[in-house]
Structure 1
């Protein structure tokens, strides 16, 4: 079997978890290879995500590495035998690998938490807002249109039959930056309130008066995996977006998110009676900005 040259984030993560377990068990690459009747080169490829491992072989590795049967064991087995195919395959002609990796992570996450200091998160964007953002960076109109379709398709995670719990902390600056036009922004802010009505969606605004903490933290997304230890952080950057499953960094960003959420305004609750908005909350601020447009 030839080694793949561009493993997906799921394949890389599985390999990294297997390497971590092997080293924790004190086994060499040669010893691990012997469990599969293979050499250490095969183990190296598996741990880099460049090769798959058969189901019975993975079972032997996990048992030999001392991984007890349970959520982590099952999660790793599922990661190995998930073929990674989904609606995102329809966009192979234009979506770079990191975008498809992002869609795959979103589709499999148990919970998504996002902090966004600059723009409305992609999962909450209207088609018009998304087009204004994407076309500013993508001059080719045909490609921009396809990228917009890809972004809108990602939103099925929130609106499908089995929606994923989603918690967004959005800086006030993201609500005030004029993207496209005043009409586009009004429609976008209305959409934000509409999505916040969904029982599995939580939207909070981090106001200017809470200080600069939001700006310091930058944008990031926390994906809760199928088992403890399989969480991932995604950093959305213009040139080199990246994922990390490093436990210490994941815990650090989880703490950052909790601090952001605790300092942000109360979540949008469109069902609350008007008198409950005497003190400023997220809904009140969004409506105030929308009426000022």
Structure 2
């Protein structure tokens, strides 16, 4: 089978992990090729995610690279033999490759920390709000319907995360998306979702300054092991997935700073008389009042 020209994020990530382990073990590509009874080019293709590695070959590589058997070892084996099939397959050819990769990444992640400075995060959007957001860039009704359906399907992963922590800038509460009814339903959904025990929603208010806008939008995904954590950043025409530990640590510190500056999390169970004078819920309620 010829090398694939457009590997998925999962395939690229597995290859990058194997390259990292080989380099750490101070083994050359030729050394790895001998273990697989293959030529050097095949190792290059494997490490670029362009071809798959057979189960017994992967086991040989991991043992030769001195990767100890345990959660990380098992997760790499699972990544290699998980063919990436899921509900997102039906959207192949409709959604961009990066959107499909994001859905697959969400399906295998244990936690998510997201910072969003302009709109409500997709995982928390109502259907009407999502439609209004997407229609600003897509006018074809059939494609629009598919994009909205894809976004709604993605939300199924929310129930499977051990933790979902969203920091949303006040801008996203005040920028009118759709009509007043659409915005009210969306803000009420934020409160509703915050009732889930594993979900934390914080609002970053205008008064805390420009730090949030400087940070930009990003997501931190927790992998099955810390070595497989992923940083995701989306741009206008592309997306960036990275497992670089230094960058992930940098953004993790950034997220901690954002959380410290943001208002206290939404707590719908708290009685009004015990709520702080300024917290995420009180700000949401104030914006809801303005949307009457």
TM-score scaled by length of structure 1: 0.97
Q: Distance in 2 between matches of 1:284 and 1:157?
A: 28
Q: Distance in 2 between matches of 1:152 and 1:47?
A: 34
Q: Which runs of 5+ in 1 are unaligned?
A: none
Q: Distance in 2 between matches of 1:66 and 1:143?
A: 48
1:237-283 Cα deviation digits (max 9, x unpaired): 11122111111101100110111011111111100111122421111
Partner of 2:104: 104
Moved over 3 A (4+): none
Q: Secondary structure at the match of 2:46?
A: helix
Aligned residue pairs total: 291
Q: Distance in 2 between matches of 1:237 and 1:148?
A: 19
Q: Distance in 1 between matches of 2:245 and 2:101?
A: 20
Per-residue deviation, 1:51: 0.6
1:207 aligns with 2:191: no
Q: 8 Å contact 2:46–2:53 — kept in the other structure?
A: yes
Partner of 1:147: 147
Partner of 2:171: 173
Q: Distance in 2 between matches of 1:177 and 1:259?
A: 24
Q: Distance in 2 between matches of 1:36 and 1:88?
A: 32
Q: Distance in 2 between matches of 1:108 and 1:184?
A: 31
Partner of 1:5: 5
Q: Distance in 2 between matches of 1:199 and 1:278?
A: 20
Q: Secondary structure at the match of 1:137?
A: coil
Q: Distance in 1 between matches of 2:276 and 2:111?
A: 31
Q: Distance in 2 between matches of 1:180 and 1:96?
A: 25
1:66 aligns with 2:34: no
Q: Secondary structure at the match of 2:226?
A: coil
Q: Calculate the aligned-residue CA RMSD, in Å.
A: 1.0
Q: 8 Å contact 2:16–2:47 — kept in the other structure?
A: yes
1:87 aligns with 2:56: no
Q: 8 Å contact 1:71–1:228 — kept in the other structure?
A: no
TM-score scaled by length of structure 2: 0.98
Q: 8 Å contact 1:124–1:191 — kept in the other structure?
A: yes
The 1:278–1:227 alpha-carbon spacing in structure 2 relative to 1, beyond 3 Å, is closer
Q: Secondary structure at the match of 2:232?
A: strand
1:9-55 Cα deviation digits (max 9, x unpaired): 00000001101111111111111000011111110000000011111
1:228 aligns with 2:223: no
Partner of 1:129: 129
Q: Secondary structure at the match of 1:57?
A: helix
Q: Which runs of 5+ in 2 are unaligned?
A: none
Q: Distance in 2 between matches of 1:175 and 1:247?
A: 33
Q: Distance in 1 between matches of 2:85 and 2:163?
A: 22
Q: 8 Å contact 2:110–2:161 — kept in the other structure?
A: no
Q: 8 Å contact 1:126–1:191 — kept in the other structure?
A: yes
Q: 8 Å contact 2:109–2:161 — kept in the other structure?
A: no
Partner of 2:55: 55
Of the three residues 248, 253, 259, the one matched with 2:257 is 259
Per-residue deviation, 1:93: 3.1
1:60-100 Cα deviation digits (max 9, x unpaired): 10110111112211111111111100000111130111001
Q: Secondary structure at the match of 1:114?
A: strand
1:38 aligns with 2:38: yes
1:210-250 Cα deviation digits (max 9, x unpaired): 11110000000000011121111111211122111111101
Q: Distance in 2 between matches of 1:243 and 1:179?
A: 28
